[in-house]
Amino acid sequence: MQSRSPRILIYSHDTFGLGHLRRSRVIAQALVAHRPDTSILIIAGSPVVGSFSFPPQVDFIRVPGVVKLGAESYAPSNPGLSIEDLTEIRSAIIKKTAEIFDPDIFLVDKEPLGMRGEVEESLAFLKTTGCRLVLGLRDIMDEPSRLADEWTRKGAFAAVENLYDDVWIYGLPDICDPLEGIGISQRVRDRAVFTGYLPRADEPSGALPDQIRIGERPFVLVTTGGGGDGARLVDWVLRAYESDPAIGVRAKIVLGPFMETGFASDFQARAKKLDSVDLITFAASIEPLFERAEGIVAMGGYNTFCEILSFDKPAVIVPRRHPRLEQFIRASRAEDLGLARMLLDDEVENAAIMAGAIRSLPGQNRPQAAAIDKLLGGVETIRRLVDDIVADGRRGAVRSLSLRQDPRHVAGRP
């Protein structure tokens, strides 16, 4: 019998951008709406986590932040710390939180051991308490051979094999199977569940800036997610409007909070000269913009893709291809299935191509026309999975396992 209200601890791997935090928030919000007695705590490193609204049953702990330098390279946001010291601080906060909060479920987003292995000690400890350890993966991680190499270097295979009880994949195998081709065992595959994509509602997730004027119609929404790598897309859209003032539909551009200041200042100055362009830096509450837009121009991040599907908007996706192929794989699969149109930034110098794509958006097919079954079943599936875990109760504690002492850690596979 469950002797207390369920507790869920979520680790949000948000060293860059907003994707992990926004995904974690959607899951938390859906769970407490379904089970109001549930208490959820999100561990996040995003500097903008406080800009988002959360239900009363959901709170967050912000650990010191990092700046992403490359695919697997980080530096402390605080220049007075080394990355080693920062990782130790973050790891200690996560471990102490796990000990005191004593969750029934620990949901880890994307990175099996966290940034630089910072959740390994917490996973090993919680394994001894009977807590259910769940790895949450987006639909696409990277090209399989690259992901296999990365997971081998990080010791992630051993964590997935020996520590985690379940793997939740927030997508459908019809679009992509992130475990395919990386050498994962059948035992892990048997524990993996494809949930479907995570649907989004039109309720605000935070404050919406007044200057965006969402009542104006029609408009195309241009979003770069966190914005740290979105400058090429915004520049392409602005040049489309600068070269073709008769596009015929307004653009509302959201730069993202992590766009480099120099780019943001230049884009703001250019947008002020264009009658058909509104531009803001950041909107925590982007859902109303999606709901009212005639179409979307965006990069290929997971959350943006979920919003395109949820609000059934015709979309042009311009994916990044570095440092990961994730967005390109998602956009190309989406185009193949008739869910969106893809443009590659190889053509970024041609403003007419973007102008034509924007002009064509209102007449483009919407995602629902593809009629893919259970495409947005993520929330419903996760609620059912959590119900089953809570009903089962805590399982018997097991001995603590240190991956660094396990000889299988060297090979990365059992």
Q: Which residues, 6+ apart, have CB-to-CB distance to 390 below 8 Å? A: 2, 6, 35, 104
Q: Give the three-state DSSP class for 324.
A: coil
Q: Which residues, 6+ apart, have CB-to-CB distance to 51 below 8 Å? A: 206, 207, 282, 284
pLDDT at site 204: 55
pLDDT at site 208: 52
Would you place residue 285 in the very low, low, confident or very high pLDDT band (cuts 50, 70, 90)?
Answer: confident
Q: Rounded to an integer, what distance in angstroms lies between the CA atom of residue 334 and that of residue 171?
A: 12
- Looking at the chain, the whole-number percentage of residues with pLDDT higher than 90 is 73
Q: Which of 235, 201, 258 is nearest to 65 (CA)?
A: 258
Q: Rounded to an integer, what distance in angstroms lies between the CA atom of residue 258 and that of residue 260?
A: 6
pLDDT at site 413: 32
Q: Which of 23, 114, 119, 124 is nearest to 72 (CA)?
A: 114
Per-residue tokens: 113: 């051991």
pLDDT at site 227: 82
Number of H helices, E strands in the chain: 14, 15
The residue type of 363 is: G
Query: What is the bridge-based pairing of β-strands 105-109 and 7-11?
Result: parallel
- Segment among 174-178, 197-201, 224-228, 378-382 with least mean pLDDT: 224-228
How much is the average pLDDT of 110-117?
Answer: 94
- CB-neighbour burial class of residue 286 (10 A; exposed 0-12, middle 13-18, buried 19+): buried
pLDDT at site 45: 86
Q: Rounded to an integer, what distance in angstroms lies between the CA atom of residue 309 and that of residue 330?
A: 13
Would you place residue 404 in the very low, low, confident or very high pLDDT band (cuts 50, 70, 90)?
Answer: very low
- Beta carbons of 236 and 354 less than 8 angstroms apart: yes
How much is the average pLDDT of 82-109?
Answer: 96
How much is the average pLDDT of 374-382?
Answer: 97
Dump pLDDT digits (tens) for 206-248: 555 545 555 566 899 999 988 888 999 999 999 999 999 999 8
Q: Which of 181, 132, 133, 182 is nearest to 157 (CA)?
A: 182
70 vs 266, which has greater pLDDT? 266
Q: Rounded to an integer, what distance in angstroms lies between the CA atom of residue 251 and that of residue 328?
A: 24
Dump pLDDT digits (tens) for 45-69: 888 787 788 999 999 999 998 877 6
The residue type of 314 is: P
Tell me the pLDDT of the chain averaged across its residues.
89
Would you place residue 71 in the very low, low, confident or very high pLDDT band (cuts 50, 70, 90)?
Answer: low
Q: Which CATH class is domain 210-370?
A: alpha beta
Q: Rounded to an integer, what distance in angstroms lies between the CA atom of residue 174 and that of residue 335?
A: 13
- Beta carbons of 310 and 199 less than 8 angstroms apart: yes
The DSSP-derived string for 47-99 is: TTGGGB---TTEEEEEPPPEEE-SSS-EEESSTTS-HHHHHHHHHHHHHHHHH
Q: Rounded to an integer, what distance in angstroms lies between the CA atom of residue 375 and that of residue 197?
A: 6
The residue type of 287 is: E
Q: Which of 268, 233, 220, 252 is nearest to 342 (CA)?
A: 233
Which one of 164-168, 171-175, 259-263 scores highest in mean pLDDT? 164-168
User: Does the 7-199+376-411 domain belong in CATH 3.50.50.60?
Assistant: no
- Beta carbons of 42 and 59 less than 8 angstroms apart: yes
Using the structure block, give the residue that is written with the tokens 């199977």.
177
How far CA 263 is from CA of 47, 156, 215, 269, in Å, comes to: 20, 36, 28, 10
Range(s) of the chain covered by CATH 3.40.50.2000: 7-199+376-411, 210-370
Would you place residue 310 in the very low, low, confident or very high pLDDT band (cuts 50, 70, 90)?
Answer: very high
Residue 408 pLDDT exceeds 50? no
Q: Give the three-state DSSP class for 287.
A: helix
